[in-house]
Amino acid sequence: MANGGAPGLSVVDRLFTVLEAFAGHRGPLTLVDLGELTGLPKTTLHRVCWKFVELNVLEHTAEGFQMGSRLYALGAMSPSLRRLRASAMPLLHVLVARSGWVANLGVLCEHRALVVDEVAGAGQLPPRDRMIGTTMPLYATALGKALVANGPQSLRDELCASPLLRPYTRHTIVRTSLLREHLAEVAHRGYAVSNEELQLGIMGVAAPVIVAGELVGAIALVGPADDAAPRRLSKHVRLAAGRLAQALSPAAVELVA
């Protein structure tokens, strides 16, 4: 059971516990689902969810509650995030035009990879909702691997604290001793690959965006599983990530100013 049910949890903590449950889950959630995910009492969840609906933070459908647009709109007002998205958008479109795959822009958020922008491609993928605003595991996605491999050492230590991780498919790297070696390779070569590790039939190629030695995000292409894709697409993803880093560099800011 999640810590949300711990005695003495503040009102603010409870609110964020509910929001984080939605952020980490695709699709609607019922009060029963939320109770299992958060450990909060059903009466508390009922009150919180309907208040969020009133504030347009959540939406209610026949299937349950789901994230609304207001919270994402508020988050998008972050100056650094707005600049990151605005600078990345032309590069994402170029990647889509060259590959036909979906292009994603992501950042680290609470030990997950948060998708902050996306451009759809023409590649054949299973039907799905847009990924903007959703979070994904760091160890089972190319976007997440690019972020954690180039983030602080403490993040990798926390991720690999247990001997085994949850498998999403039979291809997920679950042994943390192997994951450490894999992430070191990702950092060395400058790009990450996830081959059917989160979802069968889907793969991704991603590269970190590093500005003045600091990780600010990552760019990824997502498409149908293809063993030849990493060799074909990695150079394009790395080039886009490098150009985004240049656009966000202090020197570029001074020129604009």
* Count of domains for the chain: 2
Return the CATH number at 63.
1.10.10.10
Q: pLDDT tens across 157-196, in order?
A: 999 999 999 999 999 999 999 999 999 999 999 999 999 9
Instruction: 29-35: list long-range contacts, CB under 8 Å, 24+ apart.
Output: 29/64, 29/65, 29/66, 30/63, 30/64, 30/65, 31/64, 31/65, 33/64, 34/65
- Confidence at residue 87, expressed as pLDDT on a 0 to 100 scale: 96
Residues in CB range of 167: below 8 A, 6 or more apart: 174
Return the CATH number at 196.
3.30.450.40
Q: Which of 73, 94, 112 is the last residue of a domain?
A: 73
Burial of residue 154 (CB within 10 Å: 0-12, 13-18, 19+) is exposed
Percent of the chain clearing pLDDT 90 (strictly above): 69
Percent of the chain clearing pLDDT 70 (strictly above): 88
Joined tokens for residue 52: 């969020």
Same domain, 208 and 88: yes
- Confidence at residue 255, expressed as pLDDT on a 0 to 100 scale: 47
Mean pLDDT value across residues 151-161: 96
Residue 123 — pLDDT band, cuts 50, 70, 90?
A: low
Of residues 221, 195, 223, 190, the one with CA closest to residue 207: 190
- Confidence at residue 9, expressed as pLDDT on a 0 to 100 scale: 67
Indicate the pairing of strand 112-119 with strand 102-109.
antiparallel
- Confidence at residue 135, expressed as pLDDT on a 0 to 100 scale: 86
Same domain, 65 and 134: no
Is residue 142 a contact partner of residue 220, using CB atoms and an 8 Å limit? yes
Residue 241 — pLDDT band, cuts 50, 70, 90?
A: very high
Beta strands per DSSP E along the chain: 58-61, 64-67, 102-109, 112-119, 135-136, 192-195, 202-211, 214-224
Q: Which of 28, 55, 73 is the last residue of a domain?
A: 73
Residue 56 — pLDDT band, cuts 50, 70, 90?
A: confident
Same domain, 136 and 47: no
Same domain, 69 and 94: no
Q: Which of 20, 46, 73 is the last residue of a domain?
A: 73
Q: pLDDT tens across 67-97, in order?
A: 887 776 676 667 888 899 999 999 999 999 9
| Residue bearing tokens 């972020």 | 147
Same domain, 103 and 24: no
Same domain, 80 and 69: no
Same domain, 47 and 134: no
Is residue 179 a contact partner of residue 165, using CB atoms and an 8 Å limit? yes
Same domain, 129 and 32: no
Examine the pLDDT at 129 and tell me if it is beyond 70. Answer: no
- Confidence at residue 75, expressed as pLDDT on a 0 to 100 scale: 67
Mean pLDDT of the chain: 88
User: Rounded CA gap, 90 and 110, in Å?
Assistant: 27
Q: pLDDT tens across 2-45, in order?
A: 444 445 568 888 898 898 888 767 689 999 999 998 999 999 99
Q: Give me the domain span that covers residue 220.
A: 76-256
Joined tokens for residue 84: 């990151």
Mean pLDDT value across residues 105-117: 92
Examine the pLDDT at 122 and tell me if it is beyond 90. Answer: no
Mean pLDDT value across residues 209-238: 95
What sign has the CA pseudo-torsion 192, 225, 134, 120?
positive
pTM: predicted TM-score of the whole model, two decimal places:
0.76
